Amino acid sequence: MSFQKLIKASLFTPGSHGWGLPLLFWGPPGGGKTDRIESEAARWNLRVKVLSPGELGDGAFGVTPVPQMREVMTDAGLTKQMVMTYPVPDWLCYFNDSNDEDSEPCGVIFIDEINRGGPMIQACLLAMIQARRVGGAPVGRRIRVIGAANPAETTSDVFEIDSAVANRLGHYTVESPDVDEWSAWLLGNESHADEDKVVDASVEEARVMSLWSAEYAKAKGSVASFLKRRPNLLHQQPAANDPQRSRGWPSPRSWDHAIRAKASAKIHGLSDDETMEFIGGFIGRGALIELLAYEHTMDIPDLEGVLDEKIKWQPNGERLDLAMAVLSGCTAMVCSPVPPAFAQRHAARLNVLWKLLDATADIAQDIAVLNMEVLAKRNDLMTGPHFVAALGKVHGVMKLSGRVK
């Protein structure tokens, strides 16, 4: 596995709260995790702030309450009361660009030795990792979060990572470099040959977004189809005595991360082995193996080609799993934001999708309804020459579900 390629892919994956998938790298102290993360971030002109829970304490993570007198509106009018506040830590200002007051903060928060933080700090990390908030203040959509942890067998005074925190992260084991690898780094670490290759992060963000819609839709369709066949894998929290509780395990939240990782792996050109590591870090190896085995039997066509009718595809009653994957992906693509310049093309694609759903309703109403219900959440998608015919075949079912009147 290429450590650097995995870091880059995680930094440049769109998440639900901003850029970056949160990763946690497990490895012994002194293995060079911090150096390699800072090196990759520097390639993209991203500032890195290293935080250590064991070193900085609770206050640095916004969990220390401070009393403050404030004016509060009560039934008696405006009165002064003592309230508990959670001050924003000063390190958050590190990401502000002093040369451009209007620019959005951009960088990487690297939480080192994350498992040295006690239960109180781990609770704060939930908000930082998932909602990008510290002390009640937003961190910023262009600030990524990456962590590192030392396995209990390699160091002392560490806490077990709570399963709720673990489920918000992708987990990867980093082996210490061998002598040859370390020597190569040592002899080349003062070289300035790559200085001219530094690229602003916004350039790579734009490149990723130009490809994201199609790859993300295809990944969503594939995983949705798989989970419809294996619904028991949607949520499988490990037992209390299972060591996997502190690593990746399948849940609706981690599947969302895995889908994004799957799309990102394609965009960033990860190898098959790297893609497996990237996805499996979120959902665990067991769920990953089953997903790969399922996808091995699939041959999902290019979704844009299907919607543009460059690829002739029709739902087949003998391959309903493939129909589910293709239609779910096409639905996700049609529901994606559309630039005004592509409005006409989007309308044509929407019509093709309704035509495919019309044909699907004849052989598998449950698959047709599932996708129609997604489209029905937006009035602007309930239109087109084939919309009425498709809806007419399943109107009774959708009326019972409350999606249509």
Same-domain status, 288 and 219: yes
Q: Round to whole Å and give the CA distance between 265 and 248.
A: 18
The C-alpha torsion from 368 through 370 and 376 to 381, rounded to 10°, is: -60
Q: Considering 169, 199, 229, which residue would you say is the last residue of a domain?
A: 199
Spatial distance between the Cα atoms of 353 and 386, rounded to a whole number of angstroms: 9
Question: What tokens were used for 181?
Answer: 């690898």
pLDDT reported for residue 78: 83
**Contact 260/21 with Cβ under 8 angstroms?**
yes
Residue carrying structure tokens 């390190």: 91
Mean pLDDT of the chain: 85
Cα separation, 188 vs 315, whole angstroms: 55
Cα 274 to Cα 280: distance, rounded to the nearest angstrom: 10
In a shared domain, residues 180 and 275: no
Does 115 lie in the same domain as 29? yes
Q: How far apart are CA 170 and CA 371, in angstroms?
A: 29
- 165, 199, 233 - which closes a domain: 199
User: What is the model's pLDDT at position 192?
Assistant: 45
CA 65 – CA 88 distance, rounded (Å): 11
Are 128 and 110 a contacting pair, CB within 8 Å? Answer: no
Q: Mark whether 365 and 295 lie in a shared domain.
A: yes
pLDDT (0 to 100) of residue 198? 81
Token couple for 30: 């002194």
| Cα-trace Rg, the chain | 24
Give all strands of the β-sheet with 23-26 in edge-to-edge order: 47-51, 106-111, 142-149, 23-26, 170-173
What is the CATH classification number for the domain harbouring 79? 3.40.50.300
Residues 369 and 231 both lie in one domain: yes
pLDDT value at position 98?
47
What does the pLDDT read at residue 131?
73
Same-domain status, 62 and 127:
yes
Q: Are 105 and 140 in contact (CB under 8 A)?
A: yes
Amino acid making up residue 7: I
Tokens representing residue 385 in the block = 């020459």
Domain shared by 167 and 274, yes or no: no
Beta strand 137-138 pairing with 18-19: unpaired
- At residue 405, the pLDDT reads 55
| Chain centroid offset of residue 75 CA | 45
188 and 239 fall within a common domain? no
| Domain end (from 199, 222, 254) | 199
- End-to-end alpha carbon distance in the chain: 53
Distances 387 to 181, 359, 366 between C-alpha atoms, Å:
60, 12, 17
All residue ranges of the chain with pLDDT < 50 are 98-99, 192-193, 195-196
**Domain containing residue 176:** 3-199
Residue identified by tokens 């080609």 is 305
What pLDDT is stored for residue 396 in this prediction? 65
| Tally of helices (H runs) and strands (E runs) in the chain | 15, 11
